[in-house]
Amino acid sequence: MPMFVRDPCGIVCILLTYFAVLYADYVVVRWIILQTMQNSLWGPLHVVLFNSIIFLLIMAHVKAVCSDPGIVPLPQSRVDFSDIHSGTQSILQREDWTVCTRCETYRPPRAHHCRICKRCIRRMDHHCPWINNCVGEQNQKFFIQFLVYVGALCTYAIVLVVTSWLVECPGCSTDVNVKQSRILHCVILVLESALFGMFVSAILVDQLQAILSDETAVEQAQRQGPYRLHKSRLALLSEVCGRDHPLLWLLPCGSVTRSREEPLLGHLDV
């Protein structure tokens, strides 16, 4: 079930993300392409390519924001702790499952409680204000896609700014005011792209390291795991990205198949 966390910091971060993307699009189209590539076929080509990346970025972002990160269902009745010790119910015999002390959810091994979402999340990595959601088992793929597209957009924007100043432009406006505005917008765009680009690269490297060592950020902090070291790198990546062909991993469509480990507790009476 999709959810939306009412966290002011998260909502500000989401608005900031969309503002930054819209501003980058404005500068690229209005001040770079329309100013320097008016009579060239490169102009429309760059407009289409740049906006395609923006489209994929927004799709991945919406998916990461609105997806259920893997919330463990709340018990239908209060957990009776005596049952856990007597082991009279079959599901409570699972030794690796624990009861969350904050939300009383009976949860599988790699689930952790998020204080902002106020729920336990399966294979929780961290709570990310930029998607106003937890990064967990079921939306980590979309989160990584979002990082990749932000990185691609930042690189593309910087390349466009640099080439637009290097390549000679006979048709460019010689008006001083126009030129000054163009310089100002280009400088802001380069700063914005460099900042966000370095930020997402750092998180992306972290995410890939976490997936390949089969250890979430929460587990790294708690020094639990690593869990299943015998798995191949491809198997570990496909746990997050799904069983489709790796070439399809970057498409922000479809959904990640539910956990391959444990049955859902929601169907059982606790």
Q: Does 127 bind Zn ion (CB under 5 A)?
A: yes
What does the alpha-carbon distance between residue 191 and residue 209 come to, in Å, rounded to a whole number? Answer: 27
Judged by CB under 5 A, the residue of 33, 117, 150, 265 near Zn ion is 117
Q: Does 134 bind Zn ion (CB under 5 A)?
A: yes
Nearer residue to Zn ion within complex by CB, 10 or 197: 10
Report, in Å, the least distance between residue 124 CB and Zn ion. Answer: 7
Report yes or no: 86 and 61 within 8 Å, Cβ to Cβ. no
What does the alpha-carbon distance between residue 50 and residue 53 come to, in Å, rounded to a whole number? Answer: 5
Site string for Zn ion, 84-103 (x = CB under 5 A): ----------------x-xx
Nearer residue to Zn ion within complex by CB, 114 or 241: 114
Q: Does 135 bind Zn ion (CB under 5 A)?
A: no
Report, in Å, the least distance between residue 139 CB and Zn ion. Answer: 11
Residue 217 token pair? 């950020």
Q: Does 182 bind Zn ion (CB under 5 A)?
A: no
Report yes or no: 159 and 153 within 8 Å, Cβ to Cβ. no
Q: Does 218 bind Zn ion (CB under 5 A)?
A: no
Nearer residue to Zn ion within complex by CB, 114 or 203: 114
What H or E segment, with its residue span, contains residue 197? helix 176-212
Q: Which span sits near Zn ion by CB under 5 A: 39-47, 82-90, 132-140, 161-169?
A: 132-140
Is 128 one of the annotated active-site residues of the chain?
Answer: yes
DSSP assignment of 27-93? IIIIIIIHHH-TTSTHHHHHHHHHHHHHHHHHHHHHHHHHS---BPPPPSS---HHHHHHT-SGGGG
Q: Does 141 bind Zn ion (CB under 5 A)?
A: no
What does the alpha-carbon distance between residue 164 and residue 234 come to, in Å, rounded to a whole number? Answer: 40
Interface with Zn ion (CB under 5 A): 100, 102-103, 105, 113-114, 116-117, 120, 127, 134
* Residues noted as catalytic: 128
